[in-house]
Amino acid sequence: MPAAAAPAHRMSVPDYVAGIAAGDRSVLARAITLVESTNPAHRRLAQTVLQELLPTTGNAVRLGITGVPGVGKSTTIDQLGMNLLAAGHKVAVLAIDPTSKRTGGSILGDKTRMSALSQERNAFIRPSPTSGTLGGVTRRTRETMALVEAAGFDVVIVETVGVGQSEVSVADMVDFFLVLLLAGGGDDLQGIKKGIIELADMIAINKADGDNVRRAQRAVGDYKHALQIFTPAGAAWFPPVLTISGLNNQGLKELWEKILEHRKTMTAIGTFQERRQSQAVSWMRDMLEDRLMGALRAQPQVAVELPGIEAAVRDGTLLPTLAVERLMSMMGFPSE
Ligand code: GDP
């Protein structure tokens, strides 16, 4: 019986593995649902499936894209994705959206945002998981990335909105981190979030069309200058600054070429592999932290006393250090 025909609750590990390896989208979607599930039995099943698929993961170009709402992420990804499909690629788009939990709706990942790509069989768009901490959402996105790679998607785009720590999380799971910006009024550097320049492997100034072309070109100089300050002398990769128009499909060919050039350069000097390896370790560490925090909160005494302890810390009646001591001892750890 083909894997996809089995009901979800009956699908075994080999069913999942075979279905995903065959590129079956419905099996892939079910496996992602397992990854996103809070049910420990589902999670365990997902881990076994992932472990089996591990040798077939890691082959995609992993591209992270960030930018404030309205900068043109979905327009650009839609167009870039269509270009890549035309060149024979299979493209998956995943989203990390820390706003989705708070607002109950998601800014990112909504299929309707990428209207051309979402119609395509060789594209797969998955909205951000809607529950959990950023750490939990990040873990699920990493696991989903492994699943889509095993299913044969050779370009994985992870999109995030410029909120909180989500950019750092995305930069830590991709090979190339692209920052989309707009040309502002005067001093462009005002508009850029602190820290983002250090994460960028490239800056693309979007909406460089119509009346905006000259302004966008002027902004290139400003950002190049800022990148010069942050990029160490002798670095193997100097982040380029491009102007693009996602809407008019301008500059996207050059943008993709830069991504491939980066891959080639970094592979030649071993940095590509090193980045992947250290990302695997930080994946493990993040997951461990997540699990430890989960175990902490689930411990019965902690569950009862944590709100009171936090309240006491907030009031200033309990030192944070002592609060941690108390919690650690509840977990059976010796005091320092
Ligand atoms: P997102 O919130 O970052 O995903 O931004 P969208 O892709 O939804 O774009 C926001 C608005 O900007 C939409 O009205 C788009 O049509 C428009 N837009 C996006 N890219 C371009 C572009 O390259 N040029 C122009 N002129 N408008 C664009």
pLDDT, tens digit, for every residue of 215-253? Answer: 999 999 888 888 888 788 788 899 999 999 999 999 999
Looking at ligand 1, which residue's alpha carbon is closest to its atom 26? 207
Query: What's the CA gap between 17 and 27, in Å, rounded?
Result: 9
- 79 in helix, strand or coil? helix
Domains of the chain: 1-56 (1.20.5.170), 58-268 (3.40.50.300), 283-330 (no CATH)
> pTM, whole model, 2 decimals?
0.87
3 lines ligand 1 (CB under 6 A): no
**Cβ–ligand 1 contact at 72 (below 6 Å):** yes
DSSP conformational letter for 245: B
User: What number of residues does the chain have?
Assistant: 336
Q: Is the per-residue pLDDT at 8 higher than 80?
A: no
Residue 205 pLDDT > 90: yes
What pLDDT sits at residue 1? 45
Q: How confident is the model at residue 192 (pLDDT cuts 50, 70, 90)?
A: low
- Locate all alpha helices (DSSP H) within the chain, ordered by sequence: 13-21, 25-36, 40-53, 73-86, 99-103, 134-150, 166-171, 196-199, 213-230, 252-268, 271-298, 300-315, 320-330
Gap from CA of 179 to ligand 1 centroid (Å): 15
Q: What per-residue confidence (pLDDT) applies to 128?
A: 77
Q: Name which residue sits closest to atom 5 of ligand 1, judged by CA.
A: 72
7: confidence class by pLDDT, cuts 50, 70, 90: low
206 ligand 1 Cβ < 6 A:
yes
Q: Could you tell me the distance, in angstroms and rounded to a whole number, from the CA of residue 72 to the centre of ligand 1?
A: 4
161 pocket-lining for ligand 1 (C-beta < 6 Å): no
Look at ligand 1, atom 9, and give the residue with the nearest C-alpha: 72
80 lines ligand 1 (CB under 6 A): no
